[in-house]
Structure 1
Amino acid sequence: MDKQILSDYLKKKAIPVVIRKKKSYLTYEGIPDRYVYILKQGIIKTSVVTREGREFNLRYLNDFEIVSLFKDEYSQEVEAPFNVRVESEEAELYKIVRDQFWTDVNHDRQLQDYVKEYYRKNLMDTMKKMQQMLMNGKYGAVCTQINELYETFGIQTADGVLIDFEVTNEEIARFCGITSASSVNRMMQRLREDGALQSVERKLLVKNIEMIRENIIY
């Protein structure tokens, strides 16, 4: 996607930026919301709550990207399909009244194309991840999530690729639909013993990403 199109729109319309602190929520699943948020800087997490009342994590976002855009072009408010929470110390976000945003989209062909591509990409990414989670079993699901963290937060160092964001085993369990964090602990220990992972100051250092990817069915 050509993010310059979105950037130019935000500048042209002088869309205001809001700052939210760590662990604050932008939206709650099922609660009406009347804004579109676009991440400028920081890290946020999307999640849903299962029927059993457990949280299931969807993804982390740490790049300039639309966070919450619900495909209802005419209502001033719509129910949020998921929770959105700030995970970095703070996050900067553009905040746009949603019906005004859709009016602007409908009058700008380039912006229309951008939004269509946004939906297409998010649908494909979601389908791919769900497929991996369903086909790989618990161990493969954990490896899938580590690979996603590697691609989202990975920084090359002399010793390997550092996942430059603290992620607990409890959070990994919520991404994988695993009820017990102790199960994730055992899988993570296995990866450490195999030499694929190492812990460095509460962060993960990936020593061998191919060894992790061998456990993922694509």
Structure 2
Amino acid sequence: MPNSLKSTHSIQITELLRIADRTVPISKDQFIFREGEIAEELYMIVSGNVQISKVTADGRELTLRICGENDICGELTLFTDNPKYLLSAKVLVEGEMAIIRKDVLEKAIFENSALGYEFMKWMSDHFRKTQTKFRDLVLNGKKGALFSTLIRMTNSYGIQKKDGILIDLPLTNQKLGDFCGTSRESTNKTLNELKRKGVISNEKGKITIHDSDYLKNEIGCENCPAVYCNIE
């Protein structure tokens, strides 16, 4: 069982593991579920990372968040009839996940008021994060969306170093562009501009932010709490 529990729903993690149907290993590039498939289960990530994404009308993939330890995915199907997954979930980093049947979890939420409260709180936080991300995508344009994504990633995966903040997550330019709804070429161009200005550097697929204030000033960052301004 993980040692670190996320504050949004940490009290009931042990309860979720107790009602889980089974725990299974997950492998890199494995799809846990795909958009449009019949939804009968939810998933809690015990270890590893899972990318949640949606295919847009023009065929591009838009990455909405990355689930890590103790995160839940597939939750949008709760309390709906004949549910289908609205998004797709693909493994980025191998690990382990607990599988919870939808009907079992719904029953547990009705019977356990503390669990129900934690889920309401978690869903409220989740929707607020999604709203702020779409706000950034709509209002700041492609370049601003990339700046916003980098800021969010420092809050989720940032490690403070002497010369800046290392985003401790391997990212190709294509994957980074998927978070912003932009092409790999557009992402390359913007990242190269930031490198020339000394705002970022990239080594072995990991980005270090040397001047986060530059990124924040460019998009008029409101300095939202990190609990909302993240990529999870």
TM-score by length of 2: 0.87
Deviations 1:160-180 (A, max 9, x none): 2111111111112221111x3
Change (3 A) 1:204 1:2: closer
Tell me the C-alpha RMSD between the 2 structures.
1.7
Q: Is the 8 A contact 1:62 1:152 kept in 2?
A: no
**Match of 1:214?**
217
**Match of 1:163?**
167
Whether 1:140 aligns to 2:144 is yes
Whether 1:120 aligns to 2:124 is yes
TM-score by length of 1: 0.92
* Residue-pair matches, total: 215
**Match of 1:79?**
84
> What CA distance in whole angstroms lies between the structure 2 residues aligned with 1:31 and 1:37?
15
Identity of aligned residues (%): 24
> What CA distance in whole angstroms lies between the structure 2 residues aligned with 1:47 and 1:69?
14
The alpha-carbon deviation at position 3 of structure 1 amounts to 2.9
Whether 1:197 aligns to 2:203 is no
Q: Is the 8 A contact 2:41 2:100 kept in 1?
A: yes
**Match of 2:29?**
23
**Match of 2:102?**
98
Q: Show structure 2 runs of 5+ residues with no match.
A: 1-6, 223-232
**Match of 1:53?**
59
Q: Show structure 1 runs of 5+ residues with no match.
A: none
Secondary structure of residue in 1 paired with 2:116:
helix
> What CA distance in whole angstroms lies between the structure 1 residues aligned with 2:167 and 2:80?
41
> What CA distance in whole angstroms lies between the structure 1 residues aligned with 2:53 and 2:37?
14
The answer to which of 51-60 and 98-107 deviates more is 51-60
The alpha-carbon deviation at position 139 of structure 1 amounts to 1.1
Change (3 A) 1:46 1:74: closer
Change (3 A) 1:120 1:205: same
Q: 2:191 aligns with which of 188, 191, 195?
A: 188
Whether 1:108 aligns to 2:112 is yes
The answer to which of 35-44 and 7-16 deviates more is 7-16
Change (3 A) 1:14 1:95: closer
Change (3 A) 1:25 1:11: closer
Q: Is the 8 A contact 1:36 1:98 kept in 2?
A: yes
Superposition misfits of 4+ residues, deviation over 4 angstroms: none
Secondary structure of residue in 1 paired with 2:79:
coil
> What CA distance in whole angstroms lies between the structure 2 residues aligned with 1:152 and 1:186?
24
**Match of 2:40?**
34
